[in-house]
Structure 1
Amino acid sequence: MNVTAAPARHADAAVENFDVLIVGAGISGIDAAYHLQQHCPDRSFVLLENQESFGGTWLTHKYPGIRSDSDLFTFGYSWKPWVDKPIATADKIMRYLDEALDEQDIRRHIRFRHQVKAARWSSADKRWSVEVLDKESGEIRRFSASFLWMCQGYYRHEEGYKPDFPGQDSFRGQIVHPQEWPEDLDYAGKKVVVIGSGATAATLIPAMAEKTAHITMLQRSPTYFFARPNENELATQLRELDIPQEWIHEIVRQKILKDQRMIQTLSFTQPDFLKDQLLGAAKEHLGEDFDYETHLTPSYRPWRQRLALIPDGDLYTAIRAGKASIVTDEIESFTETGIRLKSGEELEADIIVTATGFNFCILGDVEIEIDGRKLDFAETVTYRGVMYSGVPNMAWVFGYFRASWTLRADLISGFVTRLLNHMADKGAEMVVPTLRDEDRGMNFGPFIDPENFNPGYVMRSLHLLPKQGDRDPWRFEHDYFAEKDVLPVAELDDGVLIYR
């Protein structure tokens, strides 16, 4: 029998009005709320969160070993010191965010299980009208806001990316996607194959290896891994000197950023040297007999796809101990007992984990209208990677690929709060990035340049994302070191931001 969900009921309550409506209570939404309170204390705001609690990614993901793949000195907030190891598990990140909510008195502004369904801008009213599903009551509630701040991240929490593998229905074992990890999954003594070689696979495999009979990373092509100790020596030294935590956080943060800039520069100027350094770190763990050319040497230069960080080389340790292995091949089909590869080899498996990535979620899958017309986001042009041509009073937080997401969330928060205060000074109720006459003939390119960064999840959704131009302010550098000195002082009366 087909069961159809009951339609949402419309609540009778009046529209709730706010100056700013923040979508999402993950790391970006909490950061936005902090900056609003600090720099726009007279503005009312609300955070609407689809899930039952805060945390976003760190609440959604439940797979073994879930941890950050960025250091917490830069992935953490500039305004709240991180006092633990650089790479942290999800429970420690959630504890950090929980403390931030209490310390800044932000929790009272959050409405959990409130899913934003539609947002409609009226130029006549100079406001957004927002329809929200209250998942507790099943009712549609209505909110109104002057400014819409999209902080929901860029991937769909409900489901991960699942390729349709030939013969997968014939497999008699269990197929699991990391984003939908069953709490009761028993993998003790089982043969496990993990399809994929990104950060998720590099996290899962060492976390599961102690219990499984054997676990295999099956990759179509290699990934660059960055093995390093999960300790920051500078932080340890400063703590031994009883330096205040706020100072330690900022000093270590700046040192890490300097090191990251050097690595990023090397990836463009001396990619072969950087490749040798990454493989050299692997050899310290795996020895000379490992087949590095087949399993750990990608065809692309370092950082053209994300570097997967492995703290303390734990993935390599599991491989050297014989508890895990890497197979580089393509899948011909699933079988009843595992996977048949195009080389003819068969991998036996009781459990297959499809660590195949995620689906992009553009603007939180919210239906957006501007003065009665549905927004085609792909037809807009990005304004500094923050706002979008023809879209009034809205910002979207899109972080970095080669640096911590939160670094850009911080920069955007500074820009948006400065813009809100500028609008108040001008007596403006509406601001919209608008192409000037001289901009209309410029060359347009993709939001993300595939020659610069091209993982599968980006390429699958590139056609859904905005364009960027060939000149400022219509470019998005995707580079913290290019933006950190520009966004904080960007001209707000530049002839592109039109105020009314």
Structure 2
Amino acid sequence: MGSTEKAPRDLFDVIIVGAGIAGINAAYRLQTEIPSANFTILEARGGIGGTWDLFNYPGFRSDSDLYTFGFSWRPWPGNKCIADGDSIRKYIRASAAMYGIDQKVQFHHRLVAANWSSDQQAWTLLIDKDSHEARFHARFVILSTGYYDYEEALSSHINGIENFKGTVLHPQFWPKDFDYKDKKMVVVGSGSTAVTLLPSLAETASHVTMLQRSPTYIISRPSVDPFGAWVHKFLPAAMAHRITRIKFLLFGFLFIKFCAFYPLAARNLIKKVTVKELPEDIPHDPHFEPRYNPWEQRLCLCPDGDFFKAMRSGKASVVTDTITTVTPTGIQLASGKHIDTDIIITATGLKLKIGGGAQITVDNVPHTVGEKYLWKGVMLQDVPNMATCLGYTNVAWTLGVDATAILVARLLTSMRKRGITSAVPRLEKGADMKTVTALNLSSTYVVKGAKAVPKAGDRAPWMPRITYLADLWDAEYGNIVDGLHFEKVST
């Protein structure tokens, strides 16, 4: 195959889109595994950190342990295994600075569209640079933009919300220095955001009510891991961190398998520990008795039992009911109860979006992300030289994006050695493959946003991610030929 156009001169080997935890990790893997690679990072916002730079609602923190959520190449330096958002943001930025990755970031560069040219064997990226148009070119693109919409939250219809005379907020857009002292507040939702918000708000507000249509599983965990603290007393820091990390990986894996194979036993175990945490006036059923089995939706963690402490203090409560309508002074429920409130927090979920919503075209032909299968959970079907960083839903997100970065670095190294200019995931014509979800959760925001997320299949190499250890092995040693179409084109 020949070429009719020359590749542009201002050409990067790789462009990483997004300077969050996935983008910084991808940059580290690139400069470690392929030191000669010329790359840059384009970040739409003005700071490093992604999600951790965006959210600032009260109590914002991790819901995964930092031993596995932190970078494998730079151990989490704090003693808390569940940490606040500000500490995590500082950790990401310090990690980037330590390896010079922060110098590769170009801020206020938002990806609008990306077009692959088969003749040039390169991507042209249309960028919004402070409201001015710019173009970048790359041989390979890594989308490290997360999985949700930064500009728009998940819409959730609440009847009569326009009647409310108080304040309505979504946690994603929490105003700086918002004053809620001695206010009555209702948090609508039961996911990790609501569970995080409630104990923090209760410290200042008059009273906080978590209003949920259906309950979730909430598990208390020490913010400082006793085992980790113990091994750090007797072993060098690097060794202690590695051992603690392995412990969290194994225990997390075993617990998820236990929940999958013995759901009734898992339900009973969680119920037993939850009942011990609850005050006598708050029953387990219906408020903490989900209709689904553990890990069909993500479990919520509360460090040092702060959620239950807020309940026991009397400054927080939970109501399981459905909303009939919102009145000028509160919320009218189907049960007939009316909750008086000054502030309504709609913690109803995130709107899924891949690649920041950028238009992706191949030779000017549009490709819709939600209609494509994912090769090894990484590359979009029929789209050359583009990787998508998606993590796990049941363990630390960082583990999944690191497996992706390792696989991409290995693929790029192989392509360089073989003189290959493009790799395109192709699904065989007539292949009888069943479609499965790439994000294996039944949460409302996942179900509503399913069409925005790439698909997975029931056979390799199109299957969804399984477990970190298996995916890590596959990234380092697995087959990186099956399912890919390679081209060598002179440009």
Do the two structures share a fold, i.e. TM-score over 0.5?
yes
Matches within 5 A, 1:70-469: 70-84=64-78, 85-135=80-130, 138-241=131-234, 243-287=235-279, 290-437=282-429, 440-448=430-438, 452-469=440-457
Query: How much has 1:246 moved relative to structure 2?
Result: 1.9
1:8 aligned partner: none
Q: Report the CA distance between 1:279 and its aligned residue.
A: 1.9
The answer to whether the Cα contact below 8 Å between 1:385 and 1:475 also exists between their aligned partners in 2 is yes
Percent of aligned pairs with the same residue? 40
Moved over 4 A (4+): none
For the residues of structure 2 that align with 1:326 and 1:124, how far apart are their CA atoms? 60
* TM-score normalized with structure 2 length: 0.95
Map Cα deviations across residues 35-88 of structure 1 (whole Å, 9 max, x no partner).
001001000000000011010111110100110000111110000011220001
SS at match of 1:293: coil
What letter is aligned with 1:64?
A: P
1:295-320 residue CA offsets vs partner (Å, 9 max, x unmatched): 00101000000001011110101001
Aligned position for 1:52:
46
Contact 1:116 1:133 in 2 (8 A): yes
| SS, match of residue 227 in structure 1 | strand
Q: More displaced, 172-181 or 440-449?
A: 440-449
- 2: CA distance between counterparts of 1:280 and 1:497? 53
- SS at 2:151's partner residue? strand
Post-superposition shift, 1:473? 0.6
The alignment's C-alpha RMSD in Å is 1.5
Shift of 1:357: 0.6
Q: Hey, what's the Cα distance between the residues in 1 that align with 2:280 and 2:455?
A: 46
- CA positional deviation for 1:240: 1.3
Q: Which amino acid letter does the alignment assign opposite residue 241 of structure 2? A: H
Residue 289 of structure 1 and its aligned partner are, at CA, apart by 5.2
Structure 1 counterpart SS, 2:285: helix
Contact 1:436-1:496 within 8 A present in 2 as well: no
Secondary structure at 1:485 match in 2:
helix
Pick one of 470, 475, 480 that aligns with 2:458: 470
The structural deviation recorded for 1:468 is 2.3
C-alpha deviations, 1:356-378, integer Å up to 9, x for none? 01101122101111011011223
Q: Tell me, in whole angstroms, the C-alpha distance in 2 between the residues paired with 1:493 and 1:168.
A: 53
Which residue number corresponds to residue 6 of structure 1?
Answer: none
Q: Residue 36 of structure 2: which of 28, 42, 58 is its match?
A: 42
Q: Alpha-carbon deviations, 1:392-419, whole Å to 9, x = none?
A: 0000001100010000111111100000
Distance in 1 between residues matched to 2:270 and 2:476, nearest whole Å: 34
Pairs aligned (count): 480
Distance 1:250 1:27 in 2: 20
Moved more, 463-472 or 116-125: 463-472
Rounded to whole Å, the distance in 1 between the matches of 2:436 and 2:428 is 20
State the SS of the aligned residue for 2:152: strand
1:158: how far off? Answer: 1.4
Cα distance in 1, alignment partners of residues 155 and 237 from structure 2: 43
Partner of 2:19: 25
Q: Provide the C-alpha distance between the structure 2 equivalents of 1:274 and 1:499, rounded to a whole number of angstroms.
A: 50
C-alpha displacement at 1:288, in angstroms?
5.4
Task: Name whichever of 97-106 and 14-23 sits farther off.
Answer: 14-23
Supply the distance in 2 between the matched residues of 1:265 and 1:492 (Cα, whole angstroms): 28
Q: Given that residues 333 and 341 in structure 1 are in contact (C-alpha distance below 8 angstroms), is that contact kept between their aligned partners in structure 2? A: yes
Structure 1 regions of 5+ residues with no counterpart?
Answer: 1-13
- Secondary structure in 1 aligned to 2:387? strand
